[in-house]
Chains A and B, each alone.
Chain A
Amino acid sequence: MTSTLELKADKMLKVQFVGDDDVLNHILDREGGPKIKKERAQLLVNTQKIIKKPENELEEDDQEVLKDHNYVEVLGQDVQESLKNGSATDGGNKVYPFQNRKHPEKMAKLASELAKTPRKSVSLNMKNDPKITIDIPQCSKGHSSSDKSQLKNNDKSEFLSTAPRGLRKRLIVPRSHSDSESEYSASNSEDDEGVAQEYEEDTNEDILSQKIQAQNREVSAPVFRETPSKKMKREKTSHLVEKYFEAHSSSKVLTSDRTLQKLKRAKLDQQTLHNLLSKVSPSFSAELKQLNQQHEQLFHKWMLQLHLGFNIVLYGLGSKRDLLERFRTTMLQDCIHIVINGFFPGISVKSVLNSVTEVLDHVGTFRSVLDQLEWITNKFKEDSSLELFLLIHNLDSQMLRGDKSQQIIGQLSSLRNIYLIASIDHLNAPLMWDHAKQSLYNWLWYETTTYSHYTEETSYENSLLVKQSGSLPLSSLIHVLRSLTPNARGIFRLLIKYQLDNQDNPSYTGLCFQDFYQQCREAFLVNSDLTLRAQLTEFRDHKLIRTKKGTDGVEYLLIPVDNGILTDFLENEEEEL
């Protein structure tokens, strides 16, 4: 009996369940309240005590803790049981523990390690295939300077015992990386040296990186992290918070200064990107097909559950667009349905509601979104034969993730004869919903990992490396200006030229109105500042310019369009002239 209690007490220490006292008061019976408080304090002070004499006063809290433990156990078991819910070994803190600060060349090292991984083919006998593992130092926490010095002193002796698994393995594996082996012990402290050395490396790196060979060699600089894993485990919880601040404290981030411009291939535009990617032959198509077939078998079940009042949300890596599209074409051909592309940059709740009212053949407008929602709600409540399927791709997109939007979509989905099936992709998507919204949505979660590329979803995005072709803004610019008088065009061109002249000036805030007026007068474009102002109003209405009040109270004019587009525009104009 005591032993089991001890066990429980032992286990419960891993569980952290701290609620507000107010909340607790509500949950527990009144008389239990004060006792628990007392106990919790003790728990924090001395855990040993409780383990030693559990029979003393564990009464109610113990009960709760027991349940906690059960809970964790059940969840744990389930994760192990589950085939679909993530790999068995991924505990909560393993997924995203705090990181230590890492050094810039780490990635390169890892890359070449990965590159060196022998390519495995199915025909090979896997067991005999020597594997080189990527080694991620697990135990880099709690790295003090004393550790370091110790490391330097006796790195030779500790070499075998502390080398991370992967590296050790590599040493054992009889492969031809002899050069890296020889360098292994020589350079091992380098990684822990100060910033200065790294800085040097940074400057060298440009030369180095030309040759992958050279980098490969550098890879072998091992990552010595000395803390034994056992110790780390104990320290983990206490250091967790510190780690966060450690990772975020230094304002200086150590990354190399190389930029894409120095690289030959800079930004591609959407079209060439697409063309290039179409040349890539997809890998693992058989497996992907199998995965998709598994999901397709669920279509009937989805329909059933949708009809019974649940709504369905799909999550998991990979675009779920094709899957939903197949669902739509196979199951929904005879029903009224609306497809909503959440990733479309111009989407809003208003447009969602508008398409619903379009289904209901409504003519006219509504004063507000809430009015519209109310009208829809009434309509659906009146007519129970009305059925509507809503398919939303990327419910968590930038435009729809707002609280208000979610609330409204949730209210729509809570209607009995509106069936919602949606997909989410963002890592933190579930954070959009609090309990109230979740109960509105009444979700059933389905994991549909497809590994398909997010082609459609990312095509709208102003991606980092994709060059904005600017064809859309450019054409609209031309269109607008064509409708204006030659004088107005001249005024605008003046502004463009001034802005382009100043494009290298980082502190450029815009053209001062008075100066602008002066220039326009000199070019015989306006005869009074009133006419200029009238022109500017026109531009402003088309969102072609923006005015800003400077610190001195003077108006500054700015064209909020990319400089590249402006150059294109000017070239275009000149061609025409």
Chain B
Amino acid sequence: MATSSVSKGCFVFKPNFKKRKISVPIEDYFNKGKNASEDSKLRFETYQLIWQQMKSETERLQEELNKNLFDSLVEFLQTSHSGLWKNSKDWSCEIKLREIPTAALVLGVNVTDHDLTLRSLTEVLQNNVTPYVVSLQAKDCPDMKHFLQKLVSQLMDCKVDVQSKEKESVQVIQKNVHYSMDSLSAWYMSVTQKTDPKMPRKKRTSSSQWQSPPVVLILKDMESFTTKVLQDFIIISSQHLHEFPLILIFGIATSPVVIHRLLPHAVSSLLCIELFQSLSCKEHLTTVLDKLLLTTQFPFKLSEKVLQILTNIFLYHDFSIQNFIKGLQLSLLEHFYSQPLSVLCCNLPEAKRRIRFLSANQCENIRRLPSFRRYVEKQSSEKQVALLTSDKFLKEETQSLLENLHVYHKNYFLVLRCLHQFTSSLPKYPLGRQIRELYCMCLEKNIWDSEEYASVLQLLRLLAKDELMAMLQNCFKLFQSSSGKELGNTAKKIEEFLAQFQSLDETKEEEDTSQSQSKGLQKTDLYHLQKSLLEMKELRSTSKRQTKFEVLREQVVSFVDSLVREYLLPPDTQPLHETLYFSSAHTLRQHLNAAPRIALHTALNNPYYYLKNEALRSEEGCIPNVAPDICIAYKLHLECSRLINLVDWSEAFATVVTAAEKMDANSVTSEERNEIIHARFIRAVSELELLGFIKPTKQKTDHVARLTWGGC
């Protein structure tokens, strides 16, 4: 083989230039090999279109969500900096002069998202505050020297953006200079002096307010910095603060306490720390879901299982929005890749147009959809025949079904949000606090069959008036904001309810006042009082006379219930839902959240699972002696404790293998056979070593150590 050698491990293959030119377009890989499936090109284009839209939407969301945080950060930087340079006579400013303004930015445990956030932060700062923004990572700065080196080299780059001309000279000089804080501040002075007279007034309006912009240093992962480096740097730079206006930003993943854990009091007193909290990643997820999935903007939808898996990976593994979006991308890709009818997964007018051009094969595909078949079975017999035979009729029907599906989604999300308004503030959150939980439940089955839903209705019947009215108000706003025709009535109905509650208010107040007045006038002794109280109690318990409010509340509840029953049907009841919903949760899990250990274990313990040979079939927990060598060796080694005697092992192995071999292969002499078996044993053992089950040990001669505790 060309790629194995005893002298090198890397092999470069570089086809000559002519051949390379004809590179295969990506679409071609979209077809599964040679047999091009239906509309693959169109599907791939649709995939790319939708993915681009989704991606830009998420980026926009990210920006929006971070805006608040960034605004306050910028404000902090500006005030702290200007305070530094203004009236320096002030006594408090004298103190402040020794303190480095520091923003502790608590970013949360989703480390993978930090990069994106900090990158956009750098951009914002560069546009608004100062051109000198440097971000450092702990792994680049194992000691002070590297720290300063990185700082200086990055500062040079920052400067390049401002002055394009003189960069060369400055850089060349600086490269040889010994990196120290002195040289840094000297450099800073020279730069600010130079730029001062000919400051370009056009672009940097805000930063030009100060004669010298501050230098912002972002420590991306504050926790992983070496304490010594951090301490030294802070102490040194606080000495130089008057000539080198530094502002620190700490990126913190855990909690702000870590600052004090890392820095002793003497050092942390040199910092003037202000705390900033980024948006919790959970909220971030909610927004992303809200804008990407709970909307009719994107036709692509996830089934309950898939959504469950994606959110679970998020909640239990990494809290990473990026990973969530990666999962979303994968499911989008898988959907378009595996479902030929996904070609209809686009906006309605386009989909209708595409239906007209569907091939006969695709029509067959439609007929094969389980949801469509269920639909056909419900139709009258003539229509059934027409649907199954005439492609033209089928296409027309598909168009109307698809339109229904889109209308269904429109209503679905409105009602879902409405229901969420009602359920999200109930005690114990029987239907979940987040809308995604509610959505999952609704996707799974008829929500009204669940016990949780029943309890929700129960709880709604106990709501006080002002709570109920607030909810109704919110729902009203929801319905009003949407332009749906079907649910126009609902908005009106809710408005009516609201009006009724309002009127209820007025009448009730009158009643109350009249009652209290009549009661207040009577004079009674203790006995009478008791008696009247008893009477009142009896009255209340016996006559369950519903007040007007209760009647109205009942009406509202049943109204909500009817809405839910009408519109929140699970999507798999809808014909053609397969075109829009991605449901192969298993693939997703396999590729995103794989379990290599389990796979290895299964392969070793139960070879029949992979090799479907009847000879390998066995009961759980045992393997036949004809199994692959490595399985047998593995099985035997499970019987040992920490150390394994190789001789015993090899003999046990030989026993098993000879027993398996006895039936055939008698031609070879026994000595040679033994040799071969020994060789096989050696191979199995070294394979197990490669897999990490055992390792050589010197504790005892001819022993190996086991590395797993298992014993199944």
Given the interface pairs A95-B710, A136-B638, A439-B320, the reply to whether A308 lies near B333 with Cβ below 8 Å is yes
A457 contact from B108, B429, B599, B690, Cβ within 8 A:
B690
Residues on the A chain within 8 Å of B15, using CB: 333-336
Scoring A residues 233 to 256 as 1 if CB is less than 8 Å from chain B, else 0, what string do you get?
Answer: 000000000001001100001111
Contact B682 A90 (CB under 8 A): no
Contacts of A166 in B (CB 8 A): 622
Q: Chain B: which residue is nearest A288 at the CB level?
A: B611
Is the beta-carbon distance between A136 and B11 smaller than 8 angstroms? Answer: no
Q: Name A87's contact: one of B32, B329, B602, B702 (CB within 8 Å).
A: B602
Q: Which residues of A contact B24 (CB under 8 A)?
A: 334
Residues in B with CB closer than 8 Å to A258 are 645, 647-648, 702
Take A305-B333, A325-B3, A436-B111 as given contacts and tell me if A255 and B320 are in contact as well, using a CB distance cutoff of 8 Å. Answer: no
Q: Decide yes or no whether B79 CB sits under 8 A from chain A.
A: no
Query: What CA separation (Å) do A341 and B8 show in the bound complex?
Result: 8
Q: Is B600 an interface residue (CB 8 A)?
A: yes
Q: Choose the segment among A188-196, A260-268, A497-505 that binds chain B (4+ C-beta atoms closer than 8 Å).
A: A260-268
- Counting chain B CB atoms within 10 Å of each CB, the highest count among A99, A109, A310, A449 belongs to A99
Contact B603 A318 (CB under 8 A): yes
Contacts A81-B586, A442-B326 given: A110-B636 contact, CB under 8 Å?
A: yes
Q: Are B690 and A310 in contact (CB under 8 A)?
A: no
Alpha-carbon distance between A305 and B686 when the two chains are bound, in angstroms:
34
Among candidates B591, B613, B686, residue contacting A284 with C-beta atoms closer than 8 Å = B613
**B701 nearest CB neighbor, chain A only:** A259
Say which residue of A84, A247, A265, A300 sits within 8 Å of B709 (CB atoms): A247
Number of A-B contacts (CB under 8 A): 457
| Pairwise interchain contact A308-B26, C-beta atoms closer than 8 A | yes
A209 interface contact, C-beta 8 A? yes
A-B contact pairs, 10 of them (CB 8 A): A1-B451, A62-B428, A102-B711, A107-B644, A114-B632, A115-B656, A341-B3, A427-B693, A449-B603, A453-B683
At the interface, yes or no: A108 with Cβ under 8 Å from chain B? yes
Which residue of A has the minimal Cβ distance to B674? A265
Would you give the shortest CB distance from B571 to chain A, in whole angstroms? Answer: 18
Interface contact B682-A354, CB-CB below 8 Å: no
Contact B639 A121 (CB under 8 A): no
Cβ B617 vs Cβ A126 within 8 A: yes
Which residues of the partner chain B approach A538 to less than 8 Å between Cβ atoms? none
Does chain A have a CB within 8 A of B618?
yes
Contact A85 B599 (CB under 8 A): yes
Q: In the assembled complex, which residues on chain A have CB atoms less than 8 Å from the CB atom of B687?
A: 453-454, 458
Instruction: Please give me the residue from chain A that is nearest to B106 by CB atom.
Output: A26
Q: Which 9 A-B pairs have the closest CB atoms?
A: A344-B9, A115-B659, A111-B652, A445-B594, A86-B598, A96-B710, A317-B603, A347-B9, A99-B711
A-side contacts of B647, CB under 8 Å: 256, 258-260, 262-263
**Is B4 part of the binding interface, using a Cβ–Cβ cutoff of 8 Å?**
yes
Contact A447-B599, Cβ < 8 Å, known A114-B659, A117-B624, A277-B680: yes
**Interface locus among B89-97, B178-186, B304-312:** B304-312
Please tell me which one of the listed residues A121, A209, A300 contacts residue B32 in the complex, with CB atoms under 8 A apart: A300
Q: Which of A70-78, A507-515, A525-533, A554-562 contacts B (4 or more CB under 8 A)?
A: A70-78
Which segment of A43-51, A462-470, A476-484, A539-547 sits at the interface?
A: A462-470
Q: Which residues of B contact A425 (CB under 8 A)?
A: 690-691
Evaluate whether A304 and B26 lie within 8 angstroms (CB atoms) in the complex, with A315-B599, A453-B683 already known: yes
Distance in angstroms from A368 CB to nearest chain B CB is: 11
Return the CB mask of B1-24 against A: 1 if under 8 Å, else 0: 101101011111111000110111
Whether B689 and A119, one on each chain, are in contact in the complex, defined by CB atoms closer than 8 angstroms, is: no
| Contact A107/B641 with A283-B628, A336-B13, A427-B691 known, Cβ cut-off 8 Å | no
Contact B642 A247 (CB under 8 A): yes
20 extra A-B contacts, CB within 8 A, seeds A67-B312, A95-B598, A464-B686: A55-B428, A59-B427, A74-B308, A78-B585, A82-B586, A84-B590, A85-B586, A86-B595, A109-B639, A117-B625, A166-B622, A256-B645, A262-B647, A276-B676, A276-B679, A291-B611, A301-B32, A316-B599, A317-B630, A445-B593
Give the residues in chain A near B454, CB-CB below 8 Å. Answer: 1
Interface string of B416-435 (1 = CB under 8 A from A): 00000000000111001100
What are the residues of chain A within 8 A of B590 when measuring CB–CB? 82, 84-85, 445, 447
- A570, CB-defined interface residue at 8 Å: no
B4 to chain A, nearest CB (A): 6
Would B139 and A351 count as touching, CB distance under 8 A? Answer: no
With the chains together, A342 CA to B3 CA distance in Å?
12
Query: Number of contacting residues on B, CB 8 A?
Result: 158
Q: Which residue of the partner chain, among B112, B596, B619, contacts A424 with CB atoms under 8 Å? A: B596
**Roughly how many angstroms separate A346 CA and B8 CA in the complex, as a whole number?**
7
Residues from chain B with a CB closer than 8 A to the CB of A461 are 686, 689-690
Is B658 in contact with chain A by the CB < 8 A criterion? Answer: yes
Contacts of A460 in B (CB 8 A): 6
* Complex-state Cα separation, A522 to B339, whole angstroms: 88
Which residues of chain B are near A18, meaning CB under 8 Å? none
Chain B residue, CB-CB nearest to A248 = B642
Q: Is A337 an interface residue (CB 8 A)?
A: yes
Q: Given A119-B626, A253-B699, A463-B689, A273 and B595 touching (CB < 8 A)?
A: no
* Contact (Cβ within 8 A) A426 B624: no
Q: Is B369 part of the binding interface, using a Cβ–Cβ cutoff of 8 Å?
A: no
Interface contact A110-B599, CB-CB below 8 Å: no
- CB-defined contacts of A339 to chain B, threshold 8 Å: 3, 10-11, 13
Residues 127-171 of A, flagged 1 when their CB comes within 8 A of B and 0 if not, give 000010111100000000000000000000000000000100000
Which residues of B lie under 8 Å from residue A447 when comparing CB positions? Answer: 590, 594, 596, 599
**B686→A445 contact, CB < 8 A:** no
Interface residues of A in 269-305 (CB under 8 A from B): 272-273, 276-277, 279-280, 283-284, 286-288, 290-291, 297, 299-301, 303-305
| A92–chain B nearest beta-carbon distance, Å | 8
A120 at the B interface (CB under 8 A):
yes
Chain B residues with Cβ below 8 Å from A288 are 611
Task: Establish whether residues A108 and B651, one from each chain, have CB atoms under 8 Å apart when the complex forms.
Answer: yes
Q: Bound state CA distance, A341 and B22, in angstroms?
A: 28
With A260-B702, A325-B1 known as contacts, the answer to whether A104 contacts B645 (CB < 8 A) is yes
Interface pair A23/B646, CB less than 8 Å apart:
no
Judged by a CB distance under 8 angstroms, whether B448 is at the interface is no
Residues of B within 8 A of A358 (CB): 12
* Residue in B4, B685, B712 whose beta carbon sits within 8 Å of that of A341 in the complex: B4
B361 within 8 A of A: no
Question: Which of A255, A263, A355, A387 has its CB near the most chain B CB atoms (within 10 A)?
Answer: A255
Contact residues of A between 159 and 217, Cβ < 8 Å to B: 166, 209, 212, 215
B72 within 8 A of A: no
Q: Are B599 and A334 in contact (CB under 8 A)?
A: no
Cβ contact within 8 Å between A451 and B607: yes
Residue numbers in B under 8 Å from A67 (CB-CB): 312, 315, 437
Residues of A within 8 A of B591 (CB): 444-446
State whether A115 touches B612 (Cβ < 8 A): no
Contact present for A464 and B659 (CB under 8 Å): no
Does chain A have a CB within 8 A of B280?
yes
Residues from chain A with Cβ under 8 Å of B148 in the complex: none
Given known pairs A248-B642, A304-B29, A336-B20, the reply for A259 and B702 (CB within 8 Å) is yes
> Is the beta-carbon distance between A95 and B601 smaller than 8 angstroms?
yes
Bound complex: CA A118 to CA B349 (Å): 67
Q: CB-CB < 8 A to B455: which residues of A?
A: 1
* Pairwise interchain contact A465-B658, C-beta atoms closer than 8 A: no
Taking a contact as CB atoms under 8 Å apart, the answer to whether B596 and A430 are in contact is yes
Closest chain A residue, CB of each to CB of B668: A279
Within 83-103 of A, Cβ neighbours of B (below 8 Å) are at: 84-87, 89-90, 94-102
| Contact, CB under 8 Å: B655 / A338 | no
Please determine whether A112 and B641 come into contact, CB atoms closer than 8 angstroms. no
Contact of B595 among A55, A85, A209, A436 (CB under 8 A): A85
Q: How far is the CB of B445 from chain A (nearest CB, A)?
A: 14
How many Å lie between the Cα of A460 and that of B689 in the bound state?
13
Interface centre among B620, B648, B689, B693 (most CB of A within 10 A): B648
A120 x B602 contact (CB < 8 A): no
